[in-house]
Amino acid sequence: MNHRIAILGASGYTGAELIRLVATHPRFSIVALSGERKAGMSISSVFPHLRHLPAPPIYRIDEVDFSEVDLCFCALPHKTSQQIVAHLPKSVRVVDLSADFRLRNADEYQKWYGVPHSAAALQETAVYGLTEFYRDQISTASLVAGTGCNSAAAQFALRPLLAAKAINFNEIIIDLKCGVSGAGRALQEHLLHSELSEGYFPYAVGGTHRHLGELDQEFSQVAGEPITVQFTPHLLPVNRGVLATAYVRGDARTIHEVLSTAYAEEPFLSVLPFGEMPSTHHVRGSNFVHIGVAGDRVSGRSIVVAVLDNLVKGSSGQALQNANVMLGESETEGLLAAPLFP
Amino acid sequence: MNHRIAILGASGYTGAELIRLVATHPRFSIVALSGERKAGMSISSVFPHLRHLPAPPIYRIDEVDFSEVDLCFCALPHKTSQQIVAHLPKSVRVVDLSADFRLRNADEYQKWYGVPHSAAALQETAVYGLTEFYRDQISTASLVAGTGCNSAAAQFALRPLLAAKAINFNEIIIDLKCGVSGAGRALQEHLLHSELSEGYFPYAVGGTHRHLGELDQEFSQVAGEPITVQFTPHLLPVNRGVLATAYVRGDARTIHEVLSTAYAEEPFLSVLPFGEMPSTHHVRGSNFVHIGVAGDRVSGRSIVVAVLDNLVKGSSGQALQNANVMLGESETEGLLAAPLFP
Amino acid sequence: MNHRIAILGASGYTGAELIRLVATHPRFSIVALSGERKAGMSISSVFPHLRHLPAPPIYRIDEVDFSEVDLCFCALPHKTSQQIVAHLPKSVRVVDLSADFRLRNADEYQKWYGVPHSAAALQETAVYGLTEFYRDQISTASLVAGTGCNSAAAQFALRPLLAAKAINFNEIIIDLKCGVSGAGRALQEHLLHSELSEGYFPYAVGGTHRHLGELDQEFSQVAGEPITVQFTPHLLPVNRGVLATAYVRGDARTIHEVLSTAYAEEPFLSVLPFGEMPSTHHVRGSNFVHIGVAGDRVSGRSIVVAVLDNLVKGSSGQALQNANVMLGESETEGLLAAPLFP
Amino acid sequence: MNHRIAILGASGYTGAELIRLVATHPRFSIVALSGERKAGMSISSVFPHLRHLPAPPIYRIDEVDFSEVDLCFCALPHKTSQQIVAHLPKSVRVVDLSADFRLRNADEYQKWYGVPHSAAALQETAVYGLTEFYRDQISTASLVAGTGCNSAAAQFALRPLLAAKAINFNEIIIDLKCGVSGAGRALQEHLLHSELSEGYFPYAVGGTHRHLGELDQEFSQVAGEPITVQFTPHLLPVNRGVLATAYVRGDARTIHEVLSTAYAEEPFLSVLPFGEMPSTHHVRGSNFVHIGVAGDRVSGRSIVVAVLDNLVKGSSGQALQNANVMLGESETEGLLAAPLFP
């Protein structure tokens, strides 16, 4: 029997990606789509590129019959998501794509998001959705919290190095470049084509980006001691793609070896030959991650670069990967399509 | 048993697209790849976005053992292709993506391509590869000639209208806009990023573009009399996408009806609701064609707009569609992936 | 003594361009800037690329002392502009960049813009601001109405041909391609980078674009009889540039001769050698217009292509050119900067 | 009397920019243009965007009469330039835009460029062309060596900090992002639009980029001891713009103060208010540099970001600025045009 899937927030980019990916899954059936602003519209009106798919129309959330749903993807805005998820029937398993359940600690949530969490008990039960590192817990979880796209890239570059103590914990700098679609479909002046194209700039400089909450939580847990990294994102005039350039102190060959070993069996994670560097071109539209390692001319310092597609491996593809794990499907089902280049 | 597939010219963009698409086909196995300039390299070196695929290395053509090949995709340059195809074993069925076998008449070939055809006998046997209109002949053909991407777009917009005499034959203007990848991976100054991005321009103005040879041949055959259209292509700073805006004399509602009826059963061709217009965004990376029809304020004049992805429906996807027909597979196998947006 | 200049609507793109251009004019001084939403901000906050200029802060319109102003550029939205201009002191000469004063006939205004004109008397006195064709009237005008950017491109391509009866009046098709900035800085979903980049599409198909009101008025006057053209705009993922491809019936050599003669003394209008085609790359950021002419293989039919930068020659540069004429300055002052390429 | 100017290598991008900028200079006259591959062509054929300028045709270098030249801009490839400059008459002052005269030490040249310098004596006499730091020497120099565009950005961010010992000398990381035009007009596969657009990647990782030769030389001189920085460039799908993100150890407020003071009188260098960050959008097409400073959440660590247009302040604008200094003109003449945005 097919798994019955609902997608809440289907009119945003991550919602559209979920529909695109889930539609290719042989044992998943989309039974409900919701989107407040576009309720009543067909998916072919909201996303004409999906017009060939047999998707249900878009409803308001309160019109969805959750008794017919096995698993629900929540692609809702931060703060909204926690309110919706808290009121779903217990029988519905949830993969949440917002930031609402990534942090295990309620105080940390308030620190980074500026408001108290309205479903703190639920927050504690959520499993962090970086599949490759939380598979067992995800398989039995009721609620999985999708990671930030930027923090996913940084973690793929660095988690095994922290676990293996292959790098100095006090000098980690992550210079991050990200594409536009990560900011979603909201109407903001700085996201207009005229404002963005043909230029680029840093933002949230100095350690204020909210994805740092996740990095602090995860890196500290892996390292066994508090880790505080530097992290500077830059917005690029490209729709998809996150590239994290990590500057670390550690031996480059050792780093390459640690990462290669850690990811040897991972279907989506490729560590490139030593010294080769990845490009966001080569993962665009796919669930793959490419990682490059090189030594610097400054002795003892190394560079690790990871790339992924923020809408796939950074959110909707990761979400489907987690759903596969939760529902006992092959983890790669629906996720092996090659990147689109050029 | 799987069909054994060779791809010649695997280091160009249409070659890469063939690999990407064929790799998802459950009954096709790639047994040989060739590429003269990149012979000896692995596909992951030439196209790192395909590094996860189990593809064979790239060889020179003369190193390929064609006795092990059932069907060969030729993604070679014009003029080269006719020489290679002429010397393949008779047992190998061929889908050619070059311009070499699109024109049935040797004189027309010489007129548009400036040189005599070196395999004129073979030219006569080739079937024109616009699947939706040549299915029966393709199913038994030894050699199928893939169409031009621009001429495919124009034909999807207009063929049924000519067949039904729904438009005036003497006033057909096709203003065409195409993306960059149609020009291939050749090193030419005007294809550099710095030259192309942030601007656009017409080229081959006045009726000199070679795809007109195909349009003349096909439109005249469909109409039953010589048809000479106007055709002006424009190069846009976008990698994928052809958009053909056809200006015709004829009743818009009738035109919409004729196209809707003609394509009602076609899995890849969508005629949009009357008055709605397509976007290249909505077919990017896919084998779909979207067609819009509207009437003009000038009485008796109508506008038909067709969009497709030049590398998929305009070449490599079309080629796989033809191979499916030739080998008795479902015509849509490997071709139903949704477009990538944004 | 310097001319004292006010710019209303300084926080939009045409406002920014006016500041950029006027700042290089040796005898123009900007004495006031207005912008309702950004009132109270400095120009360096609203447009950091202009931070080196000694511009006044942005005020609300009702805070501007118009007794200190010789000439006022109005870069306000349609409908707002007519209300503001109607209440300016008579001593202030006005160059309006909105659509509010382009049409001389109040009924035509209502037809194309959907509401009655609130300053119909003023509307009648306005001079149409296509400088090259209205110089004498502009020199003494109190109110000059800047043209639409798309209609300017079409008129540069066709006006002399209508005047000379060098083309058939009943078969004029204008396929127009325009960049994004023409849509302004408004927050609209389809103007987001993620929505626009990497694709393109037609809009206002069938003769519904408002710039047709201008084309009807101007072409009919030049021709001496009612002229109704076909006009189909397409939105491209490029910030600047309009390219009009006009399909006409007429002799190409004659057309080239008529245009070359008509524009021989024009500093901003270049007719390219016969058969050469222009590119928007080559006028970007400048007040220049490039025009190409070619014959088609269909006998008796020709193609005329005109390009301009919508924010310069299509609006703010044209506005400064008109102001120069009104104030007795050299028409080219402040407008001879070369295009930016690449 | 006007200064008579020759531009060698006029058919590349920096050559075109020199023509664009010099043409606006009231006391510079272009008397000769050279370009080997395009010799015999007019500038309007090679760069149609400059067709309105009264430029001489393009010659081979050996056809140029240097007795009529006061100052020569050499925009030739590395290695070629040193051969040409060595044979120019002594009466001709030279601003070289290649890498050939940036390094004062012949061994360093060989180390970074892989071949011995063929004009080592001349190399020693050249003045490094970072105008703001070498004005006096430039004013009397016969030969000025234009800097690398990337190294210029890094130096504007860091030189005053090294001079003031405001940062730790052992922990300087420069993560650099650069646009495409810096790679010039050469025909290389990775510079094609299809290869570059919609993605990004690092290159020359680990300290192998040649601009490091300059940084080592200049930073060490300023600091008074050997300085070895980390430097990782990334190629972005944008035509213009360099953004250098420098990670340093030092107090952010002190850093901001040192930079603000150092550049207080500089017409082209703007230090933004503390905490504000620059964008390449805001300097595009201009000779301006914007610099932002912020503190990091990691105590004692700061971030300095500098942006410039690689073709203007990074090469041709800098070259004109140097020529102004050499010829006793106002340093800003011809260089105050505002950036182009959007």
Tens digits of per-residue pLDDT, A83-120? 999 999 999 999 999 999 999 999 999 999 999 999 99
Q: What is the pLDDT of residue D204?
A: 97
Which stretches of B39-99 are assigned E, i.e. beta strand? 58-59, 71-74, 93-96
CA end-to-end span of chain A: 38
Structure tokens at A322: 């987690």
With beta carbons less than 8 A apart as the criterion, state whether D33 and D58 touch.
yes
Strand partners, C242: C178, C308
Which amino acid does the sequence have at A193? H
A237 CB neighbours in chain D (<8 A) are: 237-238
Question: How open is the CA angle B126-B130-B134, to the nearest 5 degrees?
Answer: 70
Angle at D219 between CA D215 and CA D225, to 5 degrees: 130
pLDDT value of residue C178: 97
- Average pLDDT over chain A reads 97
C87, C91, C67, C90: which is closest to C76 by C-alpha? C87
CB pairs under 8 A between A and D: 159
b/e per residue D173-207 (b: at least 16 CB within 10 A):
bbbbbbbbbbbbbeeeeebbbbbbbbbbbbebbbb
Beta-carbon separation of A49 and B341 below 8 A: yes
A239 touches chain C (CB under 8 A): yes
Tell me which residue in C187, C188, C193 faces A180 most closely, judged by beta carbons: C193
Q: Which residues of C touch D51 (CB under 8 A)?
A: 270, 282, 290
Q: Give the containing element (helix H, strand E) for D3.
A: strand D3-8
Interchain contact, A181 vs C188, CB within 8 Å: no
Amino acid at C257: E
CA A271, A272, A273, A279 torsion: positive or negative?
negative
Q: If you average pLDDT over residues C13-36, what whole number do you get?
A: 96
* D159: amino acid identity, one letter: R
Q: Cα B92 to chain center, whole Å? A: 21
Does the model's ipTM exceed the 0.95 cut? Answer: yes
Interface residue B13 vs chain A (CB under 8 A):
yes
CB hemisphere CA count around A152 (13 angstroms): 36
B341 vs A181: CB contact, 8 Å cut-off?
no
Q: How far is CA B87 from the centre of its chain?
A: 24
Q: Tell me D6's DSSP state.
A: E
- The residue-averaged pLDDT of C260-285 equals 98
Measured CA to CA, the distance from residue A241 to residue B340 in angstroms comes to 13
Residues of chain C positioned with their CB less than 8 A from the CB of A187: 187-189, 192
**D172 CB near a chain A CB, below 8 Å?**
no
Is-contact A139 A205, C-beta < 8 A? no
Distance, CA of D181 to CA of A90 (rounded, Å): 57
Using alpha carbons, select from D333, D338, D336, D288 the residue that is nearest to residue D28.
D333
The residues, any chain, with a CB within 8 Å of residue D321's CB and separated by 6 or more, are: D131, D268, D287, D331, D332, D335
Q: pLDDT tens, position by position, for chain D (342 residues)?
A: 699 999 999 999 999 999 999 999 999 999 999 998 899 999 999 999 999 998 999 999 999 999 999 999 999 999 999 999 999 999 999 999 999 999 999 999 999 999 999 999 999 999 999 999 999 999 999 999 999 999 999 999 999 999 999 999 999 999 999 999 999 998 999 999 999 999 999 999 999 999 999 999 999 999 999 999 999 999 999 999 999 999 999 999 999 999 999 999 999 999 999 999 999 999 999 999 999 999 999 999 999 999 999 999 999 999 999 999 999 999 999 999 999 999
Subunit contact A188:C185, Cβ cutoff 8 A:
no
D306 DSSP assignment: E
pLDDT digits (tens, 9 = 90+) for C84-115: 999 999 999 999 999 999 999 999 999 999 99
Cα distance between residue B319 and residue D108, in whole Å: 55
Q: Does C205 touch chain D (CB under 8 A)?
A: no
Are the beta carbons of B252 and B277 closer than 8 angstroms?
no
Q: Which tokens hold the place of C13? A: 């793109």
Give A197's contacts in chain C (Cβ within 8 Å).
Answer: 193, 197, 237, 239
With CB atoms and an 8 Å threshold, state whether D189 touches B185. yes
Q: How crowded is residue C263: how many other Cβ atoms within 10 Å of its Cβ? A: 18
Give the pLDDT confidence score for residue A143 in this predicted structure: 98
Phi, psi values for residue A27, rounded to 5°: -120, 15
pLDDT for C264 beyond 80: yes
pLDDT value of position B36: 87
Contact A133, A159 (CB under 8 A): yes
Measured at the CA of D180, the angle between CA D174 and CA D185, to 5 degrees, comes to 130
D173-178, strands of its sheet edge to edge? D201-202, D230-235, D173-178, D242-249, D301-308, D289-295, D269-271
The residue of chain C nearest to residue A190, with distances taken between CA atoms, is C192
Contact D131, D152 (CB under 8 A): no
Do D279 and A342 lie within an 8 Å CB cutoff? Answer: no
State the pLDDT at residue C36.
87
Interval B122-159: pLDDT, tens: 999 999 999 999 999 999 999 999 999 999 999 999 99
Tell whether A191 lies on the interface with C, counting CB pairs under 8 A: yes
In B88-126, the DSSP E strands lie at: 93-96
Tokens of C103: 């049409």
B104 touches chain C (CB under 8 A): no
* Interface touch D48/C340, C-beta < 8 Å: no
Nearest CB neighbour to D192, from listed B192, B198, B237: B192
What radius of gyration, in Å, describes the C-alpha atoms of chain C? 19
- Whether residue C325 is predicted with pLDDT greater than 90 in this model: the reply is yes
pLDDT reported for residue C282: 98
* pLDDT score of C1 more than 80: no
- For chain B, say whether D189 makes contact (Cβ under 8 Å): yes
Give the Cβ contact number of residue A273 at 10 Å. 11
Which amino acid is present at D182?
A: G
User: What percentage of chain A reaches a pLDDT higher than 70?
Assistant: 100
CB pair distance less than 8 Å for A206 and D296: yes
Looking at residue C235, its pLDDT comes to: 98
Contacts of C206 in chain B (CB under 8 A): 275, 294-297, 303
The pLDDT value recorded for residue D36 is 87
- Side chain identity, residue B139: S
Q: How many CB atoms lie within 10 A of CB A79?
A: 15
Q: How far is D218 from chain C (nearest CA, A)?
A: 28
Compare CB distances from A53 to B23, B181, B338 and report the shortest one's residue: B338
| CB-based contact A239 B285, cutoff 8 Å | no
- Is D72 one of the catalytic residues? no
**Is C211 strand, coil or helix?**
helix
Residue with tokens 């991972």: A266
Please give the backbone phi and psi of residue D291, each rounded to the nearest 5 degrees, phi first: -130, 130
Please say if the pLDDT value at position A1 is more than 80: no
For residue D34, the distance in angstroms to the closest alpha carbon of chain A comes to 30
Measured distance between the N- and C-terminal CA atoms of chain D, rounded to whole angstroms: 38
Q: Tell me, what DSSP letter sits at residue C52?
A: T
The minimum CA-CA distance between A279 and chain D, rounded to whole Å, is: 4
pLDDT of residue B118: 95
Dihedral sign (CA C161, C166, C169, C174): negative
Whether pLDDT at A308 is above 80? yes
Mean pLDDT of all residues in B59-71: 96
> Hey, what are C191's tokens?
């103007």
Residues on chain D touching B237 (C-beta within 8 angstroms): 193, 197
Tell me, what amino acid is at C79? K
Taking the CA of residue C159 and the nearest CA in chain B, the distance in Å comes to: 20
Q: Which two tokens stand for residue D55?
A: 């430029």
Which residues of A fall within a CB distance of 8 Å from C191? 192-194
The residues of A that are catalytic are 149
Kindly state the tokens that stand for A57. 């129309």
Beta bridge partners of B232: B175
Of how many residues is chain C composed? 342
Query: C45 CB near a chain A CB, below 8 Å?
Result: no
* Residues D180, B196: C-beta atoms closer than 8 Å: no
User: Which residues from B are below 8 Å from D35, CB to CB?
Assistant: none
B45 and chain D in contact, CB less than 8 A: no
The reply to whether A342 touches chain B by the CB within 8 Å rule is yes
Amino acid at B317: G
Task: Please tell me the distance from the alpha carbon of residue D5 to that of residue D70, in angstroms, as a whole number.
Answer: 6
Q: In Å, what is the CA distance from C164 to each residue of A33, C226, C306, D127, D213?
A: 60, 15, 18, 61, 64
Interchain contact, A52 vs B239, CB within 8 Å: no
pLDDT surpassing 80 at residue C188 = yes
Question: What is the distance between the alpha carbons of residues B271 and C75, in angstroms, rounded to a whole number?
Answer: 41
Name the closest residue on chain B to residue D47, using Cα atoms. B195
pLDDT tens string A145-174: 999 999 999 999 999 999 999 999 999 999
Number of Cβ within 10 Å of residue B198's Cβ equals 25
Sorted by sequence, the CB contacts under 8 Å of residue D177 that are 6+ apart come out as A177, A200, A234, D200, D233, D234, D236, D241, D242, D243, D244, D245
